[in-house]
């Protein structure tokens, strides 16, 4: 951690402790600190008395890949965009496993924000689908859909952006996933 960051944590924690220990505020306010686990631990370590002033912790665990996929489907369905050939229970060609593994790999990336990042993927897909529909007069504008290959293109794109990884990956799991995706073939335009 940099000296500037230490200074910020020190100043922040001193200010929090100062405010919550003033007699005017004791038992008259609720203070909620929220952030990623590592960042919150650093903040708490920056002042010895800070952790004892926050006796209650609520930890939100990462959701499962099936829930990521369900959230993505629900977000797209609001705009009547559906998946035509992918489902986490679909076992032919390991499509379900590949989608699940992709979401699992994304969840391991530092800073992955569960629903917020799934919505980013959804927004990228929505933009792509609407652009594709406007460019191609043969596409049914009422029944817009996303294929497995298109979905995987967006998941791989986010994996690469967030993990700074090229095909072949840094971890054996990601390498295996990338090889499986390569064998499926991704659309050229994403």
The three-state DSSP-derived secondary structure of the chain is CCHHHHHHHHHHHHHHHHHHCCCCCCCCCCCCCCCCHHHHHHHHHCCCCCHHHCCCCCCCCCCCHHHHHHHHHHHHHCCCEEECCCCCCCCHHHHHHHHHHHHHHHHHCCCCCCHHHHHHHHHHHHHHHHHHHHHCCCCCCCCEEECHHHHHHHHHHHHHHHHCCCCCCCCHHHHHHHHHHHHHCCCCCC
pLDDT band at 91 (very low <50, low <70, confident <90, very high): low
| pLDDT in the model for residue 154 | 94
User: N- to C-terminal Cα distance for the chain?
Assistant: 37
Contact 148, 157 (CB under 8 A): no
Q: Which of 29, 50, 32 is nearest to 41 (CA)?
A: 50
- pLDDT (tens digit per residue) in 8-41: 777 878 888 888 888 888 888 888 888 877 888 8
Give the torsion sign (CA, 185, 84, 126, 77). negative
Residue, of 174 and 163, whose pLDDT is higher: 163
- Tell me, what's the pLDDT at 121? 95
**pLDDT range class, residue 170, cuts 50, 70, 90:** very low
More confident residue, 1 or 32: 32
Residue 127: per-residue pLDDT = 94
Residue 165's pLDDT band (boundaries 50, 70, 90)?
very low
* Those residues with Cβ within 8 angstroms of residue 28's Cβ, 6 or more apart along the chain or in another chain: none
C-alpha R_g of the chain: 22
User: Roughly what angle, to the nearest 10 degrees, separates helices 172-184 and 95-108?
Assistant: 140
Q: Span 112-119, mean pLDDT? A: 87
Task: Round to whole Å and give the CA distance between 158 and 119.
Answer: 12
Mean pLDDT, rounded, of the chain: 78
């Amino acid at each position: 951690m940099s000296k500037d960051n230490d200074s910020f944590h020190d100043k922040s924690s001193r200010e929090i402790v100062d405010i919550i220990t003033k007699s005017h505020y004791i038992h008259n306010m609720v203070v909620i600190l929220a952030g990623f686990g590592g960042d919150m631990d650093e903040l708490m370590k920056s002042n010895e008395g800070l952790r004892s002033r926050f006796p209650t912790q609520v930890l939100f665990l990462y959701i499962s890949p099936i829930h990521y996929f369900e959230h993505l489907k629900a977000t797209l369905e609001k705009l009547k965009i559906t998946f035509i050939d992918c489902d986490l229970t679909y076992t032919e060609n390991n499509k379900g496993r590949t989608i699940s593994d992709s979401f699992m790999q994304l969840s391991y990336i530092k800073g992955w924000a569960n629903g917020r990042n799934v919505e980013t993927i959804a927004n990228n897909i929505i933009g792509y689908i609407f652009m594709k529909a406007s460019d191609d007069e043969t596409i049914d504008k009422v029944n817009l859909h996303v294929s497995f290959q298109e979905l995987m293109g967006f998941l791989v794109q986010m994996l690469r952006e967030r993990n700074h990884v090229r095909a072949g990956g840094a971890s054996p799991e990601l390498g295996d996933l990338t090889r499986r995706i390569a064998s499926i073939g991704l659309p050229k335009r994403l």
